[in-house]
Structure 1
Amino acid sequence: MVLSCGTMGRLVIFCAYLVAASAVAGGVWWATLTDALEAAVAKGQSDLSLAADRLVLELQRARDLAVHLSDDPRLERLLIDGQGAERASALLRATADRAGAADVLLVRPDGGVLASASGQVPSVAGTPWLDRTLHGALGFGASPDGRNFTNATPVFGPEGGVLGAVAVSRSLPTIERSWRGAPQVIYFSDASGRVLVSNREEMRSPPRVDQALPIAGLKILQLDAGPYVPREAVHLALPLPVIGLTAEILVDVGPARALAFARAVAVGALLLVIGALLAVLSERRRVLARANQMLEARVTERTAALERTNARLEGEVRERREAEAALTRAQAELVQVSKLSALGQMSAGISHELNQPLMAIRSFASNAETFLERDNPTAAARNLTRIGDLARTMGRIIKNLRAFARAEPEPAVPTDLQAVVASALDITEARRSDAGVDLTCDLPEGPVWVLGGEVRLTQVLVNLMSNAVDATDGCPRREVTVAITQDPPGLRVRDSGSGLDDPGNIFDPFYSTKEVGAGLGLGLSISYGIVSGFGGRITGENVDGGGAVFTVTLQPATPVEEAA
């Protein structure tokens, strides 16, 4: 009796488990079917929208062609006086060949065809698209046999009235030929329900349709239209008022049902396997206990491994933080090094720029001493005056170099290039004389006004002339030419030396081809900064026949007298 009760209890549990497994499998079937149908419908809507856009685009190409032809004066003249029918027909044939149209027509208001690409249509009177076109609107519509779709546009006369219409017909079978073999059944019907375009020939004759039970709020149609049309499908429609058609698609329900059935069977089988396993495990509690012990041991082992990993990660985090702190200190040190480098560059620039006035002061001082020895105080006083002027010039140079080093140039003012050249020639006179260099000046008669500063432009010219004198060292012909250009205004310094080794790098700081101790390589870099600060441009290049030429181009300025 006890055994019989135990068997009965196990039988009840077994039956209850079967019912629960069936319910779960049924729920999975329903959920899968619903989700699959929703996904299929969403894809169908997307496919339908793409197909509709494709057809609309194809047909609107014909509309655009008709609009283009309506402005042709040859067709307008034919509608007005009836002249040029052959030329118009040739134009329509050529247009139809290029555009792939079935036919292109020129129609009178009464429907008579004056010219056509095919020459086979005598009249289109009474067509809906013609009536709409004669009222001044764009007309469209399918042919009675549903094989062509016509777009028409009115041709307006000089007085604004409608003279006729240009109609472009597209072959619907040609359009739908590229859609054959698509997985979804897509077709387009007119207001009467007639199918004009479809990727299934079976849809041209209405199939037998039965209404099935709805699923997830979707109407399911049962069709009998052949092997290439689904037997169960969801019908979707999209009105296309722009071409007067309705796009329709049949979304096959079969794949969704197959997927739902496969998942339900898989879940049911899985539940049965789980039930069998539970039955076996219930009879082997000791095996389960041993397995639990092994699992706990593995969990403990994994926990220890995780703790070790966490400790290692914490160490890596500490190392990374220390590296970031070291990087921050290194960046601060680099900033300090950059500051010191900038200070050194400015000091070197000051030394280089003051070298020329100091050499001139030394020359004037020596000459003044000679004049005093010769009892010529007037000439000595003139040299001392020049020394005072050069001292003031050195003060202005220091001020300008400080502003240049801080990238804070003074504003440009109208400056006469004649005064700049005169100052530069005065400063470099002694050096040119000692070097035995012949100087040629090409200067205009009147002043040439530019935007700049006399002191800073004198610095630029003195540096260019000094470099030109150095470039001629050791050459059989030592000549330097200084010129003032007027259109555009600027300066040009040319030498007869050996030329530039690397014209692309001559304006880089500390670039120099002179011997060690003969120069710092900052003169051209500083000159470049001064000219750029005035909105000008300085270039250097080699010239034919030997030597190099430096050109300074500046912004023109209004003369001081006019500005005043």
Structure 2
Amino acid sequence: MRRTLATRRVECKTLYMHRVWFIAGFLIAVGVLSGFVWSYGYRQALSQLSEKAEADLELAADRLSTQMQVYQELAVLMATHPILQELDQQADKRQAQAMLLDVADKTAAVNMMYLDQKGQVLVSAQPVSQPDMAEHPAFRRAMQGALGSAHEVTPVGDDRIYSYAAPAFGPFGQITGVLMVVADVQDVEQTWRGSTEAVFFVDAEGVVFISNRSDLLFWSREEGEAGLTPPNGAAVDFASTRVGGHELWKLNWGRYLPRDALHLTLELPVIDMTAEVLVDVAPALQLARLQAAAVAAICLAFGAMLFLAMERRRTLAEANAVLESRVAKRTLDLTVANDSLQKEVAERQEAEAALRRAQADLVQAGKLSALGQMSAGISHELNQPLMAIQQFADNGTAFVERGKPEKAGENLGRISEMAARMARIIKNLRAFARNESEPMGRVDLVQVLNTAVELTEARLNTENVAMDWQPPNAPVYAWGGEVRLVQVFVNLINNAADAMSQQDERLIQIVINNGERLSVTVRDIGPGIENTEKLFEPFYTTKAVGSSEGMGLGLSISYGLVQSFGGNIRGTNAPTGAMFTVELEYYREDEAA
């Protein structure tokens, strides 16, 4: 016994270690796979992000180049203006100044000035603080016969300006003067400031001169170094890495700049600057994390199901071994119990069959009870047409003897109508009284209610009960059995008439509500319902003990019939009287199939 327990403990320990190693190896494999998916997804997302960033950077660079080109072309076109060639007289200078001021106002240029060969300002649109421009880089380039350009910060106001200088040539090709156009960079920035991505332009000295993020203006970069340094030279957080051929910057330069950004550059030799963009890589990181998490979740779910299946298989194997050891012992007991159960099943089947027969007899008894209540009225309904037929027949014979065939024909037509009415009453009575269970299917609810009203019409007329029933023009199809539904509404109408038997004013109202849910309401103006909770219990009645009008089974039978159609019936008290609502299912072809 001790050896068996020790062996069992060793086997359990070995099995436990196998499980631990299996789970650990699986988790490591899932971690490696998730890391690979994260790396691959991150690189793919960076590639897509880089394509979009390149397009945004090119768009910003083209926008800036296009806006600056306006001032470049303005300098070239206005350099040879005839008014600028004759500035000897003071009046000529005033006319030239007015012309330059008008052009500057229309093009939003900060200033326009015309310089002589020595760099002296001859005339300008706005007053200048430095009349000698001989050392200006743009002027020196223009004096070489080419278009000169330069950018700088004004000593007064710290405004960033961009200058274009175009030479004016004389008739023999000599340079007679230079027209310089000065543009405000801030006016150019206003058209694209605040765009989604951080874009900045670095000049040849490595200084950020133009940007849609004002925090980056005048930051500088040492030659051969990455990143930027603020104007005050303070140290800032920065790190540069490369992932899949993409340069990534990790920085903390303000809330308007991303912490992890993709860095791209674009050379702009036309304006002697380099366009750069910083794109937030957080969406790429999030997408990669989601992909890795999805793969990990799928693998873990699969692993969990596999582990549970293995555990279940092992447990089942152990249980099977235990059960097999008990099968021989329990076989005899199970055989005896099986015989006992078979007898019990047979008894229950017989009891259920007897119950179904009793229910069917109870339903039929309910019908016959209703017919008994309506017998006097039905006799009257049949006796009245018979007497009318006899009278119309006698009148027709008399008219024939008198030679009035037209009158005799009218009487014969009335006899036919009376006979049809009697046939319809008898047909409804036969259908209502037959003891058979027709299959459920499509039932015209309007016809069912017409039949129920017609069956109870004699009694209602005898007891002076008014019926408010306006049948719709079109049929309303419900799911159920026609005869059983007629019995339900006959029971409800008779109950309503019974409830109002002790009052003078009597009215029953029937309405079909064919909205989203199909229902029929039968409402009276009687005293109402005393106990709605016991309303549909068998043998519950408010009539006097020993009354011949019923045993309290009508509503219980109706409840069972409506439930068999998948519907529901409920009774409530209205402001005057009681209201019974029968809810049914619409007939649908697909459900019937």
TM range (shorter): 0.3 to 0.5
Q: Which is greater in Rg?
A: 2
**TM-score, length of structure 2 as denominator length:** 0.46
